[in-house]
Chains A and B, each alone.
Chain A
Amino acid sequence: METIGPCHVVKSKKTTARSIVNLAIKELQNNKKDKINLIWLEATGCSGNIISLLNAENPDVMYLLQEMVSLKYNNSLMAAEGEKAFKQFLDTLDTEFILVVEGAVSTKDNGLYNIIARYQGKAITAMEAVNLAGEKAKYVLAVGTCASYGGISAARPNPSNSISVAEFLKREVIRIPGCPSHPDWVIGTIANLIAFGNLELDSKNRPIMFYSITIHDHCPRRSYFDKGIFATKLGDLECMFKLGCRGPITRTDCPMRQWNGYVNWPIGANTPCIGCAGESFPDGMEPFVRY
């Protein structure tokens, strides 16, 4: 058998492959480096939206953090504490970043009802932090009903004088209401911003893709409503309207999307929608249940 020497084409193919891989890795690394920064600020609320975000699935929170954004600051998750933690917040302000605020902005006594850090001896209120980051952020997302409209933090008699992020900042704020906000609504909005730029918003600055229809429009119990068959107590299978359901005035895609692995939603648990994504929640949505 004739011995065949190393073929230069094969050889170059090998190196070509390697250089393509290297290019791809470099690209990937560059992409990672270029991921936009994210500050997720917890303000006057229950910190339930970050918990809801942890419930995300496809993409999950790890995909969000590894592939989509570079999370620089979040009270619930970050490793650093104290001044070192808050320094990460400050250092991010001079970069391009998305600001997510969950919770309302409590304004009473110059914001002292909600102090989020102490930096070089100085108390930093949530109000001040929202202001600092809100002025510089490329996009501001109000996540959850408290950040979007004041929500339960601003419930009568509103002891902390809490207001929405938009009312406080007086700039464009994208509202992603819900108590809590669905993780898909948050991650979907961020995906739209980083991959496609412009986001279609309604007159209340909510992404149309999630908030264009009322719960009532797509409720699986709608046929009961149309025929006038109503539930008389929780646990019943008919239309919840007469028990106080706020589906007709609440715009979200809950009936189709569903929650927590897409397994259920409040009406699926035989309870009325309490309008938790609505502007007037909770005061304007009460009583939550009536017989």
Chain B
Amino acid sequence: MGSKITINPVTRISGFLEIEVEVEQNQIIDAKSSGMLFRGFEKMLKGRPPLDAIFFTERICGICSTAHSMASTLALEDVLNVSPNENDKIIRDFMHGCEFVQNHLRHFYQYTLPDFVRGLEISPLYTNTHNDYRLPGELNKELSKHYMEALEYSRLAHEMLAELGGKAPHTHGIFVGGVTINLDAAKWIKIKSILVKIKEFVNARMIPDVYTIAKYYPDYFYNGFGYRNLLSYGVFDSYEEKELFYIAPQVMINGERQKFNSEMITENIHRAWYEAGKIEQRPTEPTIDENLHKEDAYSWIKAPRYDQNPMEVGPLARMLLSGNYRGGISTMDRTIARVLEANKIVVIMEGLLEKMQLQSTQQGEYEIPKLVKGKGLIDTTRGALGHWISIQDQEIHNYEIITPSSWNLSPEDSIGFKGVVEEALIGTKINDLTNPVEIGRIVRSYDPCVSCATHVISDRYEPIRISVV
């Protein structure tokens, strides 16, 4: 029996996460990740007007709200049998791109950098809490400066989004049928000029910065592996032009590529606080009941699996599957892939700008069918996001959401597969048990969004291992 290390809060992520690891002879031999917030969006959505799902599900997450407006809009377009025209689709994809850029900039500079860069000069928020800072003085100073500079560019990414969608976070302009904005040249040139600035920053700062970190922390190419199973639902995949194309839906399991089939997606509840007739459900099935008395359950996140396999989702999965990144799978590869993806997305956005026409949006008046089911699957900043909707009597009858962070942060399933992040932690060597910096660095490389992962409902439970005085 090894010693236990618990980290809660895992800061510099979105939401509330607890990581517990068991360590023997400075090596992690077991790991558990638990989400720590429940709101119950799926239950709240029941009975609401279907079109409201867009603005409603955005509020699952403050850092990736546009991801949910994309997936909910696609699910609604599926059930309403609506397709946006080409121009509206281009503008919508551009808006989705803004969200990627905002997220990647903030994740790399505000969330990741403090793990590797000493003494950012906005104490007391940046107290140095360990001794494993390795950048030489000048470089360290330079990267701290970039931390401050980056704030302007992530803000500008949201400004582009607001220009087209009213405001951000929780933007308004993405809707069934495409977008709601009527593009004019003033708006077009404004977003174009902002994108130039962001591109410059990504290339002159962000990309060199991640390689600087990689140079001084090369051991992080040798931890945080996970299962090496990769999944993407595809994003920016409907254009013929090569420079606008990113990735079609893809799966890689044990090194073998497979054709993606959404029917293979299940959620396993073995170690999650849920009770149902079956240990695993499909997202098209009704929301299941909760049971916090369940023995040995330790997470409020269900375990999504693809054909029984835990899958890594996110920038590294996309960059590897699409052939845009030639490195391996590790903590540092994950961090580098995210930064390189920021540039990839910016280039796609440039291409989308060139294709935009100054046309009015083609919004319609949408009639909700009496009885219908549909889904919206798309890769978003943190990976594969799925919304499954069922409508009865023109109301939402059932709504299921599987977020990217549920894929990455899931608990152990009934086959015995741990979650992806848990697996990535197991085997890691901890140099200093009083300052286990490796844990936070590995976990953050997945850019966890626990606001998203723990949106699901858990009712009537009582605490098992948590005692509150």
Shortest CB-to-CB span from A268 to chain B, Å, is 6
A123 touches B467 (CB 8 A): yes
B18 touches A115 (CB 8 A): yes
Shortest CB-to-CB span from A89 to chain B, Å, is 10
**Residue-wise interface mask of A (184-206) relative to B, using a CB-CB cutoff of 8 A (1 in contact, 0 not):** 00000000000000000000000
A229-267 interface with B by 8 A CB criterion:
232-237, 259-261, 263-267
B125 touches A71 (CB 8 A): yes
A79 touches B120 (CB 8 A): yes
**Residue-wise interface mask of A (25-59) relative to B, using a CB-CB cutoff of 8 A (1 in contact, 0 not):** 00000000000000000101111111110111100
Shortest CB-to-CB span from B418 to chain A, Å, is 21
**Distance between Cα atoms of A205 and B134 in the complex (Å):** 49
Q: Given A48-B61, A291-B366 in contact, is the A81-B468 Cβ separation under 8 Å?
A: no
Chain A residue, CB-CB nearest to B40: A159
Q: Is the interface of B mostly helix, strand, loop or mixed?
A: loop
Cβ contacts under 8 Å, B467 to chain A: 122-123
Asked if B199 lies at the interface with its beta carbon under 8 angstroms from chain A, I say: no
Asked if A96 lies at the interface with its beta carbon under 8 angstroms from chain B, I say: no
**Selected contact of A109 from candidates B59, B457, B462, CB within 8 Å:** B462
Cβ contacts under 8 Å, A121 to chain B: 6
**Selected contact of B155 from candidates A55, A110, A118, A234, CB within 8 Å:** A55
B173 touches A66 (CB 8 A): no
A47 touches B14 (CB 8 A): yes
Cβ contacts under 8 Å, A148 to chain B: none
A157 touches B106 (CB 8 A): no
**Distance between Cα atoms of A122 and B166 in the complex (Å):** 43
Cβ contacts under 8 Å, A268 to chain B: 166
Cβ contacts under 8 Å, A84 to chain B: 127, 129
Q: Given A47-B62, A286-B48, A291-B365 in contact, is the A270-B182 Cβ separation under 8 Å?
A: yes
Asked if B7 lies at the interface with its beta carbon under 8 angstroms from chain A, I say: yes
Q: Given A80-B11, A128-B468, A291-B365 in contact, is the A271-B459 Cβ separation under 8 Å?
A: no
The stretch among B237-245, B356-364, B381-389 that forms the contact with chain A is B356-364
**Distance between Cα atoms of A232 and B467 in the complex (Å):** 54
Name the residue among A66, A76, A84 with the largest chain B CB count within 10 angstroms.
A76
Asked if A280 lies at the interface with its beta carbon under 8 angstroms from chain B, I say: no
Asked if B163 lies at the interface with its beta carbon under 8 angstroms from chain A, I say: yes
The stretch among B49-57, B311-319, B341-349 that forms the contact with chain A is B49-57
**Selected contact of B162 from candidates A66, A180, A259, A290, CB within 8 Å:** A259
Task: Tally A residues with Cβ within 8 Å of B.
Answer: 88
Task: Tally B residues with Cβ within 8 Å of A.
Answer: 90
B43-87 interface with A by 8 A CB criterion:
43-44, 47-49, 51-52, 55-56, 59-63, 65
Shortest CB-to-CB span from B15 to chain A, Å, is 6
B466 touches A112 (CB 8 A): yes
Asked if B29 lies at the interface with its beta carbon under 8 angstroms from chain A, I say: no
**Distance between Cα atoms of A16 and B102 in the complex (Å):** 49
Asked if B327 lies at the interface with its beta carbon under 8 angstroms from chain A, I say: no
**Residue-wise interface mask of B (1-31) relative to A, using a CB-CB cutoff of 8 A (1 in contact, 0 not):** 0000011111111111010000000000000
Shortest CB-to-CB span from B162 to chain A, Å, is 3
A78 touches B62 (CB 8 A): no
Q: Given A82-B9, A113-B37 in contact, is the A289-B52 Cβ separation under 8 Å?
A: yes
Cβ contacts under 8 Å, B44 to chain A: 152, 155-157, 159
Cβ contacts under 8 Å, B173 to chain A: 269-271
A115 touches B36 (CB 8 A): yes
Shortest CB-to-CB span from A275 to chain B, Å, is 11
Asked if A107 lies at the interface with its beta carbon under 8 angstroms from chain B, I say: no
Asked if B222 lies at the interface with its beta carbon under 8 angstroms from chain A, I say: no
Shortest CB-to-CB span from A110 to chain B, Å, is 6
Residues of B with Cβ closer than 8 Å to A?
Answer: 6-16, 18, 36-40, 43-44, 47-49, 51-52, 55-56, 59-63, 65, 106, 110-111, 114, 120, 122, 124-129, 148, 151-152, 154-156, 158-159, 161-173, 175, 179-182, 190, 360-366, 440, 451, 457-459, 461-463, 466-469
Residues of A with Cβ closer than 8 Å to B?
Answer: 42, 44-52, 54-57, 60-62, 65-66, 70-72, 74-82, 84-86, 88, 106, 109-118, 121-123, 125, 128, 152-153, 155-157, 159-160, 162, 179-180, 232-237, 259-261, 263-271, 274, 276, 282, 286-291
The 7 A-B residue pairs with the shortest CB-CB distance, nearest first, are A48-B62, A159-B40, A269-B166, A260-B162, A259-B167, A235-B363, A46-B62
| 15 sampled A-B residue pairs with Cβ under 8 A | A47-B62, A72-B124, A75-B16, A79-B125, A86-B9, A115-B466, A116-B9, A118-B18, A157-B43, A159-B43, A159-B457, A180-B170, A261-B162, A269-B180, A274-B172
